[in-house]
Amino acid sequence: MMNSISIRPSKDIRNNYAQISALTRENPVAITVNGKEDTVLLSHEEYQNTVHYISELEEKLAVYSHLAQSMDDIKLGRVKNSDEVFDDLLVELENLDI
């Protein structure tokens, strides 16, 4: 992923855009305004990689959440025998007006 961060003043965006753009391909670039970090620039590729990574983490978190809920259900006895579940489903299907 990312190595270190380069810090550049905001005027460099106007005066040295090509250089800033090239820097973003190596590291994120923090742009400062009045000596304080204001904005961070990433290459498009790094941005896409970051978005993809966050999306994967969100998907994993959703799975872990379902697993935790399932474990709670088991611990609290909120379970049914699979034969009972399938029997209930068959009854519901038979009662559908199709």
Closest by alpha carbon to 41, among 33, 31, 32?
31
Residue 97: the pLDDT is 78
> What does pTM read for this prediction?
0.68
Q: Give the residue extent of every domain in the chain.
A: 6-45, 52-94
And the tokens for 10? 């905001």
Out of 1.10.3470, 3.40.1620, 2.60.40, 3.40.50, select the CATH number for domain 6-45: 3.40.1620
DSSP calls for 38-84:
EEEE--HHHHHHHHHHHHHHHHHHHHHHHHHHHHHHHHTT----HHH
Instruction: Summarize pLDDT for 17-60 with one digit per residue, the tens.
Output: 999 999 999 999 999 999 999 999 999 999 999 999 999 999 99
